[in-house]
Structure formats: C-alpha cells, structure tokens
C-alpha cells in the first residue's frame, strides 16, 4: 500500500464535483460492476483444445495372394534328351541286326569249310596210296643198281692202289730235294723279315706318338667349341624366354582388362570370396571351354565369374603359335574382389 | 483468460473497498490506471511505475522545482511503460542455426515479458519452439524444445513463475515461411510466445 | 700331353644345364594365373521381355513392366527398353542368345501370363546369356486382384537368382504425406507397395504425424502424432485399426524404434528435463532410461545385434552419431566428418551405419564403415532426410526436395543411380521400410 500526502485545502467546486458525491458515485459504480461480474462458483478448468485426428479404417481386408511356385523342367533339355534316347535306341536296333547277320554269315562259312575239308581228305588218301606203290617199285630198282655199283668200285680200287705205290716212291725222292732247297730259302727270308719288322715297329711308334698329340689338340678345340655353342644357345633361349614373357604379359594385361569390364560381381560379394576357373582357348582366341577349378561356396558369385568369362567373345591372344601354346591355350583365372567397402 | 476462485474474488473486493475508502478524490490518476483490465476482474494498485503524484495542481507549499521533478518522474514512468508495452508487442524470437542461444536484442524484450508476467500472476503464456527445415526431424523436434526451454528459463529467472509457462516444440513441422533459402530458414528458427 | 684339372666334357655340360634351369624355371612355367580383383562398376544389363498374354488381363501395369521397374529401382540392374529388343521370345526355345549378346545383355527374362477363372498364372524363365544356361524356370499364380503381388514375387526370385540376396520387392512402405490447403494442413499416414502403388491411408490429421516405424512382424506401426496439441507416441495395429497412446509425458515423446521381439520401444522423452533415450516395455509401460547427459540425445535405432543402438547426440557441440553397445555401456562416437550427422540407421549385416550428413551446406545421406571408420557420401541430392534401409540390406529410401516438394527416392546401398517414386500431391516424408514377412 502506498501512503499519500493529503491536501485538505478548501476549494470552490460545483455540486457534482463535490468530493463526497464523486466518492459515493465511484463506490456505487464499483459495487454494481463487481456484482454484475461476479461468478458465484469456481470455474472449471477449460477442456483441452480438440484437434481432430481421423482414423481411416479399411474398407476390405487386403487380399493375400496365393502364389504357388512350381519349378518347370527345362523343355528344351527334355526334347534333346528324348531325341538322344530315340537315336540311341535306333542305333542299338541296327547293331543287333548287324550282329545277327554276322552270325549267319559265320555259320555259312563254317559249313563250306567242312565240305572243303572232307573233299581234300579223300584226295589225299588216294594220293598216298599211289605214292606207296611207286615207292615200292623204286626201292627194288635201287637195290639192284647198288649191287652193280659195288662190284665195279672194288675193281677200280685195286688198280689205283698199284698206281699209287709207284708214284709214292717217286714223290719221296723229289720231296727230299725240295725240302733242302726250301730250308735255305726260309732262313734267308726269316732274316729279312726280322729286319723289316724292326723297321716297321719303329715307324709305328713314331706315328702313334704323332696321332696321340693330334687327338689331344682336337679334343681341346672341340670342347671349346661345344662350350661356346652351349653358351650362345643358353643366351638365345633366355632372350627368347624373356621376350615371350614380355609378350605374354602384354596379352595377360589385355585379358585382365577385358574380364574386369565384363565382370558384374554380385552385391553380396565379400573379399573372402574367390573362384578360380580354367579357360581353354582356340588359337583364334575364341573360348573353347570354361571349367571351375575351385568355387567360393556362393553360387551367385561363382555364376558371375563363369558368366564373365563366357561373355568375352574373343580373347586377345598372341599370333605367335609357340607363345599361344605355352601360355594361352589353357590358363587359370581367379576372381577375388578387393576392397569391397 | 483469468481463472480465479470465488474466495479470491471476495478477498479482492474487500481489499479494494478498503483502498478506495482511503483514497482522496484528487488522486484521479488512480482511477484511470486502475481500469485498464477487463471488466469482471479486479484491479490492484501494484503498478509498474508506482508513482502517483498528489497535489501537484494546488501548489500547496511545494516548491516549483519539486513539482518539475515529480512531473519529470511521471513522464519517465509513462515513457517506460510505453516502451515496455511496445516491446511486449514482440512475441517472436529468432535463433541461429543449431543453437538455442538467446540473442542480445531479445533479452530486453524478454525481460519486459517476464516482468509483465510477474505483475500478472494470472497471466499464462505458451512458449512454442521451432526449427528450420534443414537436418533431421527428430533432432529438430528436440532443438525446438531446447529453444522453448531456454526462453522459459529466461522468463523464470527474470520474474515469471514456472507455473505460468508451458512449452511445446513443433520442430520443423510448422514453419512461419513456407519456402527454402537463408531468409526463410532464418524466419523459421524461432520461439513464439502465445499469451493466453 | 696337356693336363686338365677340370672334370671332363660330359659332366661339365650337365652342370651348366642344371645351373641354367635353376634360374630359368619361373620363366619356363607354362601356367600363368590371371587375377581379377574388381569388376565393372555398373548396373547389370538385363532384358525383361514383355510377357505374352492370354485371357483377360487386369487393368494397370503389365507384370513384366512392374518387374522391370523393380529391378531398375534396386540400382543393381539396367533393364533394356523393350523398343530396343530385336525379338520378343516368350519361352526358352525362342531365345537366340546371339541376339542378346549383340545387345550386350547378360540376362534375359521371358514369360507367359494367362488369365482364367479369376486367377492369373505366370510361367517365366530366366536365362544367363553368356553361359546360355537357364537359371530359373517356374510357374506362379495369384488372384487377378493381386497381379502386382505376383509381379513383385517374380522380381524377388529373379533378384535372388542373380545376386544371391533375397529380394525385397514384396515388402511395404509406410510414410506421411502433407497437403497444405487454404484452410490448413492435412497430414496422412499411408502404407503402400515398395513402388509407391496401392497406397492406403491409415490416419488423417490436421496436426503433424511423424516418424512411423514398423513392428518386426509388420502388423503394427508406431508413430508420433500431435493430435492432442503436443507430440505423443501411438502404436497402431493395421488390420484392426486399433490404436494405443503409449507415451504422453510432459515435453517430447518422439522417435519410436521397435525392439527385435516387438515387445518394447526405444523412444526420446524429455520428461526428466532434457531429451534422453528410454526403453518402454509395451506390456506394462515400464520405462528404463538409457542415456544421461545434458545434451540432446534422440533418434535411437537398434544395431544389427538387437542389443545395442545408434543415436544422435549433440554432446560434442553439434549433432553426431553415437553407438551404445548395451544398456550399461557408455556411448562411443561414430561420426567425425563435419558438424552435423544425425538420424542413424543400421543395416542387418553390421558393416555400416547410414545417416544424414551435412557437407558444404548441403544435407546428404552418407554411410560409415564401422570397422574402418571410412565415410562415404551416397547421394547427390542436397536436402536429404529420413534414411531407411530395405530389409535385405541392399536398398535405401530417403526423402529429398524436388520441385519445391518433398519426394521419396530409392538408391542402392552403395550409392549410385537414384530412382524417384512417383510424386503424389504435396509432400511425402518420413519413409520407413517394412520387414520381410513370409
């Protein structure tokens, strides 16, 4: 409350401006106003502002789709298989028929052979009979001839014996003379031979020494040449190999580049997954076959690798046949993503 | 909106009778000031400036210099009140991106609001916090609340009763300006006072 | 005679050959291994050939068209426009692989649809063009009214056959649309197919609806609604329409996130003074407080274990993503790039966390690789919000600005081409992807 200084000075004022009247009037006004606005009860807390939110219920329940899934066999494959079946059966049929015919043929031949054999045997029998008769005849004749021959020979032998004895005595006289002459000649010859042999021996020794020296020199030269050749060949081989390697590196890089562009690794691939394939090419660079050497365990990943390798129409390969055969006829590829972040 | 129970009103009525009984008719300034509230509610003499000058016109022994002093103070008081009223017309406060820091220029205004609230314990205020559309909804909801809470704390520290205040955050859901760009965003990063 | 101390001819030659072969061995190897360590960074070319039809086809998109859109949306496939196809086979015997190789295609899907007695039956085959091999061949049927479901089923099977990952095309989206009208705003909570079709409104309100979240059995949605004048959390059962207001405390009630068993919700409440994260048991409403810091802690999301969770906190000065491994563990900061990282979402593999990331004034979706801490920005759009990961972990949907409105966009989880869902009236926001349920 604020205390006020009061000024109680007298003033001349109009009746309605008299302080008392004014005071009473104001009091009355207050009373009226207060009573008019008086609310005799305590007001309730007003309700919270209502902001409507409307639920939207479903007109009908959602249809649950009945989705059956039945895996269909590959019709193409089936047809192919059926065809193959048919073919095989036909082949079998043909085979059987062939075999039958062969058997029949065999039987016929056997029959013929037996006929033949029987005929031959009869022939042979007849032959043998005739032969026996002829032989008997011949034997008789031979015996007679032999007897005549023996008598003649005996007479001849006696005559020769006498002749021989006369000649023998003559021979003996001449022989003795000859012997003496030869003995002397022999002695001369031996002397000469001895001298000749000596000379030859010395000659041989000299030649041997010479040839030995020559041989040694030759050997040394040959060895040097051989070594030289080997060195050159080795160097050439190395150079060739290095060149081949460089060439193969170039083509390797080309192939790697092609495959990188052709590979779509599946989204679930991780850097732990690795698939290795064996590629076989034709000399033109065309793909002959793709086989899996080792899989990743993840079918989608393996398939992505095989698809990538299969999708390259022509692999870049060197023209050089030797290089192709050595490096690019058959080679492995490993698919293994790095940094899958 | 005033919520007073019947007993409070009776007490007020009795007090005012007492007051009015003790007042002189020359204090006609009191009547004017006292009647600014809505009908049906009570007026008290707890005014801002609190300086009612009496006896200025009669010149009853008070020196002329004193009267000028009193006049000056009166004028000052009126000016202050006017200023406070003008400031309290500002009910929206703006913030920088991702912060709930009350700006310097907002402080004086909020002080005026706080004092008003203290002077009017029956007055309630709803503090609504907002954020601009950038960033995430969840974070912006919390950011709006933090701004509203900051304003609430400031008002309470400066005289308002906590019970007079209520905070709500709308996050980025109720922008003041419905477009994008720095200007729109700046206008949406705000707290609004809604007096009830 | 010359005396030689070295070994004689033949042995010397052998030694030389041995030495040569020693260092020539790697050079002379006849097997070279080529290692492919990365592939084409592009979408897989696939041709979805328009299916042949017999019988009365339902109105609306063709089944093959829906499959084509699904595969394109995933970001992992690049379907060929049917106008460019050289032939239109409808079964394996009609597929000439050379034609498709010429077009650079890797896979071809062909099929026939026939309609009889209210049932739609689709026979389809998926071929690998390079291997000239069939990967999938099956028949599927559904009532005519569910033709879109049938199409999405086929998309799932094709997707899984090629990538090894189950498809997510038969799942649902929940989101909020906002229509600003002269007499005020109209918010609608809606559920639709993954491509935005067959949308059904579940709740309409004049006040905001925020952050819907699917229960693990896909039967309920939890969301924040301002219908009482302040934010409260509701659990809404979709088939019956029954709702329960589960959190209406003083201050914030926001950002609900379901536990894996569907029995509790993580949420942000500020009833104890400032925004903190709590777990509420849905059976009895019991609350357990999980964070304790004067900063804002909000936007919780369980990690792939279902035990720990990610959340947004500005305890370091601005919003950043944190991870808390269990109720009692302390939080660990995850993001360090830039001043603003919020709204984290984990993927089911535990490799990444996805979130909104501010860079040079624009807001993108980014992800951090949890083991290495590497951060990658995934989007090129600039006002991105509310990321949600598909249940197969391969797609990400988020809201972004386009032509003055908010629209939903899907990208592959590695980033890449963005696929915008057809825009409806007004804004579409807060998308969330349902789980896969059989």
Q: Sorting pLDDT into bands at 50, 70 and 90, what band is B59?
A: very low
Query: C-contacting residues of A 23-82, CB under 8 Å?
Result: 48-49, 51-58, 61, 63-76
- Name which residue leads in pLDDT, A154 or B155: B155
Residue B81 confidence (pLDDT): 86
CA distance B119 to chain C (A): 27
Query: Which of A158, A181, A204 corresponds to the end of one domain?
Result: A181
Residue B173, SS3?
A: coil
Q: Residue A121 is part of which domain span?
A: 84-181
Backbone phi, psi, residue C283, to 5°: -65, -45
Rounded CA-CA distance C396/C384 in Å is 12
Domain for residue A285, yes or no?
A: yes
Q: Which of C268, C339, C383 lies nearest to residue B138, judging by beta carbons?
A: C268
- CA C334 – CA C372 distance, rounded (Å): 11
Is residue A307 domain-resident? yes
Taking only residues 285 to 304 of chain A, the set having a beta carbon closer than 8 angstroms to any beta carbon of chain C reads 298-301, 303-304
**Distance in Å from the first CA to the final CA of chain A:** 78
Q: Which residues of C touch A261 (CB under 8 A)?
A: 40
List the one residue out of A59, A54, B173, A62 whose CA is nearest residue C203.
A54
The share of chain A scoring above pLDDT 70, in percent, equals 83
Report chain B's C-alpha Rg in angstroms: 22
Task: Tell me, yes or no, if C229 comes closer than 8 A to chain B by beta carbon.
Answer: yes
Looking at per-residue pLDDT, the higher value among A108 and B68 belongs to A108
What pLDDT was estimated at residue C33? Answer: 86
For chain A, say whether B181 makes contact (Cβ under 8 Å). Answer: no
Residue A25: pLDDT band with limits 50, 70, 90: confident
Is residue A14 in a domain? Answer: yes
Chain A residues in contact with B17 (beta carbon < 8 A) = 27, 30
> Rounded to a whole number, what is the largest CA-CA distance in chain B?
72
The answer to whether the Cβ–Cβ distance between A4 and B5 falls below 8 Å is: no
pLDDT for position B51: 41
Are C122 and C51 within 8 A, CB to CB? yes
Residue C333: both structure tokens together: 């900061």
Task: Look up the pTM and report it.
Answer: 0.70
Residues A98 and A164 in one domain: yes
Q: What pLDDT shows up at residue C386?
A: 96
SS3 for C281?
Answer: strand
How many Å is the Cα radius of gyration of chain A?
68
- Domain limit, last residue, from A135, A159, A181: A181
The pLDDT of residue C375 is 96
Examine the domain organization and report whether A88 and A152 are in the same domain: yes
* pLDDT exceeds cutoff 70 at A47: no
Beta carbons within 8 Å of C10's beta carbon, 6+ residues apart: none
List the pLDDT tens digit at each of the 438 positions of chain C: 444 444 455 666 666 555 555 444 443 344 678 999 999 888 999 999 999 999 999 989 999 999 999 999 999 999 999 999 999 999 999 999 999 999 999 999 999 999 999 999 999 999 999 999 999 999 999 999 999 999 999 999 999 999 999 999 999 999 999 998 888 899 999 999 999 999 999 999 999 999 999 999 999 999 999 999 999 999 999 999 999 999 999 999 999 999 999 999 999 999 999 999 999 999 999 999 999 999 999 999 999 999 999 999 999 999 999 999 999 899 999 999 999 999 999 988 899 999 999 999 999 999 999 999 999 999 999 999 999 999 999 999 999 998 888 999 999 998 878 899 877 778 999 999 999 987
Separation in Å, CA of B196 to nearest CA in chain C? 15
Task: Check residue B41 and give its pLDDT.
Answer: 39
> Does any domain span residue A101?
yes
d(CA C62, CA C147): 9
Average model confidence (pLDDT) across chain B? 78
- Distance, CA of B174 to CA of C178 (rounded, Å): 12
Q: Which of A213, A216, A264 sits opposite C106 (nearest CB)?
A: A264
What is the rounded CA–CA span in Å between residue C278 and residue A112?
A: 110
Q: Is A118 within the bounds of a domain?
A: yes
- Residue B120 near residue B4 (C-beta atoms within 8 A): no
pLDDT of residue B45: 40
Query: For residue A196, is it within any domain?
Result: no
Nearest in space to C1 (alpha carbons), one of A299, A209, A313, B146? A209
What token pair was written down for C300?
């919780």
A49's CB contacts (< 8 A; 6+ apart) are C229
A43–B3 CB contact, under 8 Å: yes
Within the 147-186 window of chain A, which residues sit less than 8 Å (CB to CB) from chain C? none
Look up tokens 């059962």; give the residue: C237
Count of domains in chain A? 3
Examine residue A317 and state whether it is found in any structural domain, yes or no: yes
Q: Minimal Cα–Cα distance from A231 to chain C, Å?
A: 9
Residue A45 confidence (pLDDT) above 70: no
CB pairs under 8 A between B and C: 87
Mean predicted confidence (pLDDT) in B25-40: 40
Yes or no, beta carbons of B24 and A19 under 8 Å apart:
yes
By CB atoms closer than 10 A (0-12, 13-18, 19+), residue B165 is buried
Phi-psi region at A130: left, alpha or beta (left = phi > 0; alpha = psi -120 to 50)? alpha
Are the C-beta atoms of C342 and B135 separated by less than 8 Å? yes
Return the closest-CA partner of residue A261 out of C41, C108, C78.
C41
pLDDT value at B20 more than 60: no
Closest-approach residue (CA) in chain A for B2: A43
Residue C178 near residue C429, CB atoms below 8 Å: yes
The 3-class SS string of chain A reads: CCCCCCCCCCCCCCHHHCHHHHHHHHHHHHHHHHHHHCCCCCCCCCCCCCCCEEECCCCCCCCCCCCEEEECCCHHHHHHHHHHHHHHHHHHHHHHHHHHHHHHHHHHHHHHHHHHHHHHHHHHHHHHHHHHHHHHHHHHHHHHHHHHHHHHHHHHHHHHHHHHHHHHHHHHHHHHHHHHHHHHHHHHHHHHHHHHHHHHHHHHHHHHHHHHHHHHHHHHHHHHHHHHHHHHHHHHHHHHHHHHHHHHHHHHHHHHHHHHHHCCCCCCCCCCCCEEEEEEECCCCEEEEEEEEECCCCHHHHHHHHHHHHHCCECCCCCCHHHHHHHHCEEEEEECCCCCC
Chain A nearest C-alpha distance from B107 (Å): 31
Residue A123: is its pLDDT beyond 80? yes
Interval C20-67: pLDDT, tens: 554 444 433 446 789 999 998 889 999 999 999 999 999 899 999 999
Residue of B nearest to A19 (CA): B25
Does residue A231 belong to any structural domain of this protein? no
What ipTM does this complex have?
0.87
Q: Torsions phi, psi of B172, nearest 5?
A: -95, 10
Supply the CATH number for residue A318's domain.
3.30.1150.10
pLDDT one-digit tens code per residue, A314-338: 999 998 898 899 889 999 999 999 8
Going by the DSSP 8-state scheme, the letter that residue C43 receives in this structure is P
Same structural domain, A65 and A95: no
**Contact status of A38 with chain B (Cβ, < 8 Å):** yes
Flag whether residue B26 sits within 8 Å of chain A, measured between CB atoms.
yes
The DSSP element (H or E) to which C22 belongs, if any, is helix C9-28
Run of H or E including B149: helix B137-157
Mean pLDDT, residues A157-185 taken together: 87
Mean pLDDT over all residues of chain A? 83
Distance from the C276 Cα atom to the nearest Cα atom in chain B, whole angstroms: 10
Q: From the CB of residue C54, how many other CB atoms can be counted at a distance below 10 Å?
A: 11
Contact C419/C410 with Cβ under 8 angstroms? yes
Q: Which residue has the higher pLDDT, C376 or A20?
A: C376
Among A69, A104, A127, the domain-final residue is A69
pLDDT at C387: 97
pLDDT in tens, A186-211: 999 999 999 999 999 999 999 999 99
Tell me what pLDDT residue A1 has: 41
| β-pair type (C362-369, C375-377) | antiparallel
Buried b (16+ CB within 10 A) or exposed e, C423-437: ebebbbbbbbbbbee
Distance CA C186, CA C279 (A): 31
Mean pLDDT for A74-79 is: 71
Whether residue A299 contacts residue A232, with contact meaning beta carbons closer than 8 Å, is answered with: no
User: 3-state SS string over B80-132?
Assistant: HHHHHHHHCCCCEEECCCCCCCCCHHHHHHHHHHHHHHHHCCCCCEEEEEECC
CB contact B143 to C (< 8 Å)? yes
Question: Across the interface, do B139 and C342 touch by the CB < 8 Å criterion?
Answer: yes
How many Å apart are CA B43 and CA B33, to the nearest integer?
Answer: 9
Cα(B85)–Cα(B47) distance, rounded to whole angstroms? 13
User: What pLDDT band is residue A65 in, cutting at 50, 70 and 90?
Assistant: low
Residues 36-55 of B with CB under 8 A from A: 39-41, 45, 50, 52, 54-55
Distances (CA, A) of A208 to A84, A204, C1, C97: 83, 6, 13, 85
């Amino acid at each position: 409350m604020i205390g006020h200084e009061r000024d109680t000075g007298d003033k001349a004022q109009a009746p309605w401006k008299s302080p008392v009247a004014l005071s009473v009037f104001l009091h009355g006004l207050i009373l009226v106003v207060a009573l008019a606005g008086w609310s005799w009860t305590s007001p309730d807390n007003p309700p919270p502002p209502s902001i409507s939110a409307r639920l939207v219920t479903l007109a009908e329940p959602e249809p649950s789709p009945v989705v059956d899934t039945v895996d269909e066999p590959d019709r193409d494959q089936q047809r192919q298989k059926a065809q193959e079946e048919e073919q095989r059966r036909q082949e079998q049929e043909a085979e059987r028929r062939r075999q039958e015919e062969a058997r029949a043929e065999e039987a016929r031949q056997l029959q013929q052979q037996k006929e033949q054999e029987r005929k031959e045997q009869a022939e042979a029998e007849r032959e043998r009979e005739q032969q026996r008769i002829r032989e008997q005849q011949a034997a008789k004749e031979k015996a007679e001839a032999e007897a005549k021959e023996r008598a003649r020979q005996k007479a001849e032998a006696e005559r020769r014996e006498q002749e021989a004895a006369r000649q023998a005595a003559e021979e003996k006289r001449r022989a003795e003379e000859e012997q003496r002459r030869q003995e002397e000649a022999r002695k001369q010859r031996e002397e000469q031979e001895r001298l000749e042999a000596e000379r030859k021996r010395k000659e041989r020794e000299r030649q041997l020494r010479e040839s030995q020296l020559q041989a040694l020199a030759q050997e040394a030269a040959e060895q040097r040449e051989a070594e030289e050749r080997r060195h050159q060949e080795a160097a050439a081989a190395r150079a060739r190999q290095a060149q081949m390697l460089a060439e193969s590196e170039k083509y390797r890089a080309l192939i790697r580049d092609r495959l990188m562009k052709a590979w779509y690794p599946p989204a679930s691939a991780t850097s732990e997954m690795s698939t290795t394939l064996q590629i076989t090419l034709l000399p033109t660079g065309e793909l002959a076959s793709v086989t899996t050497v080792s899989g990743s365990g993840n079918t989608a990943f393996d398939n992505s690798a095989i698809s990538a390798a299969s999708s390259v129409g022509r692999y870049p390969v060197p023209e050089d046949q030797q290089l192709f055969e050595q490096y690019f006829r058959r080679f492995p590829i490993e698919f293994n993503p790095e940094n899958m972040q | 909106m005033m919520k007073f129970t019947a007993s409070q009103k009776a007490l007020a009525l009795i007090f005012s009778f007492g007051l009015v009984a003790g007042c002189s008719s020359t204090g006609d300034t009191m009547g004017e000031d006292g009647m600014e509230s809505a009908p049906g509610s009570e007026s008290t003499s707890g005014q801002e400036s609190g300086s009612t000058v009496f006896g200025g016109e009669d010149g009853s022994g008070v020196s002329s210099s004193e009267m000028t002093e009193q006049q000056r103070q009166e004028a000052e008081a009126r000016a202050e009140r006017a200023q406070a009223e003008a400031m309290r017309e500002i009910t929206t406060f703006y913030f920088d991106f991702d912060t709930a820091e009350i700006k310097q220029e907002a402080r004086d205004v909020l002080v005026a609001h706080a004092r008003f609230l203290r002077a009017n314990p029956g007055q309630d205020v709803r503090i609504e916090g907002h954020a601009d559309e950038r960033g995430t909804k969840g974070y912006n909801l919390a950011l709006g609340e933090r701004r509203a809470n900051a304003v609430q704390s400031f008002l309470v520290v400066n005289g308002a009763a906590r019970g007079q205040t209520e905070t709500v955050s709308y996050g980025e859901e109720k922008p003041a300006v419905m477009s994008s760009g720095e200007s729109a965003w700046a206008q949406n990063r705000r707290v609004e006072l809604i007096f009830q | 005679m010359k005396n030689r101390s070295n070994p004689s001819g033949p042995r010397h030659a052998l030694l030389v050959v041995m030495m040569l072969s020693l260092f020539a061995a790697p050079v002379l190897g006849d097997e070279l291994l080529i290692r492919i360590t990365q592939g084409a960074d592009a979408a897989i070319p696939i041709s979805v050939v328009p299916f042949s039809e017999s019988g009365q086809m339902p109105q609306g998109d063709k089944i093959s068209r829906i499959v084509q859109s699904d595969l394109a949306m995933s970001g992992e496939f690049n379907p060929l426009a049917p106008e460019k196809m050289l032939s239109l086979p409808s079964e394996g015997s009609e597929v000439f692989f050379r034609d498709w190789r010429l077009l650079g295609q890797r896979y071809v899907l062909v099929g026939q649809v026939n309609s009889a007695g209210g049932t739609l039956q689709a026979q389809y085959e998926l071929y690998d063009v390079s291997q000239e091999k069939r990967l999938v061949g099956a028949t599927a049927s559904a009532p005519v009214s569910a033709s879109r479901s049938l199409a999405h089923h086929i998309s799932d099977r094709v997707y899984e056959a090629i990538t090894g990952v189950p498809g997510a095309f038969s799942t649902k989206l929940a989101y909020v649309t906002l229509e600003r009208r002269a007499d005020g705003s109209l918010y609608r909570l809606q559920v639709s197919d993954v491509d935005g079709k067959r949308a059904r409104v579940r709740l309409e309100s004049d006040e905001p609806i925020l952050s819907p979240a699917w229960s693990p059995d896909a039967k309920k949605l939890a969301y924040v609604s301002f219908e009482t004048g302040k934010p409260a959390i509701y659990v809404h059962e979709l088939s019956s329409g029954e709702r329960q207001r589960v959190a209406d405390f003083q201050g914030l009630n926001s950002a609900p996130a379901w536990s894996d068993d569907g029995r509790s919700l993580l949420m942000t409440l500020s009833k104890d003074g400032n925004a903190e994260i709590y777990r509420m048991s849905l059976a009895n409403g019991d609350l357990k407080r999980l964070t304790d810091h004067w900063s804002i802690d909000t936007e919780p999301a369980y990690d792939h274990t279902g035990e720990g969770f990610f959340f947004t906190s500005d305890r370091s000065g601005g919003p950043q993503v944190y991870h808390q491994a269990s109720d009692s563990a302390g939080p660990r900061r995850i993001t360090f790039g830039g001043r603003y990282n919020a709204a984290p979402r984990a993927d089911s593999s535990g490799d990444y966390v996805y979130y909104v990331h501010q860079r040079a004034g624009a807001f993108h979706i980014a992800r951090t690789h949890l083991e290495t801490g590497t951060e990658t920005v995934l989007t090129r759009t600039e006002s991105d919000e509310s990321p949600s990961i598909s249940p197969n972990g391969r797609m990400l949907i988020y809201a972004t600005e386009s032509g003055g409105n908010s629209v939903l966009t899907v990208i592959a989880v590695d980033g890449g081409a963005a696929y915008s869902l057809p825009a409806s009236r007004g804004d579409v926001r807060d998308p969330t992807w349902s789980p896969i349920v059989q």
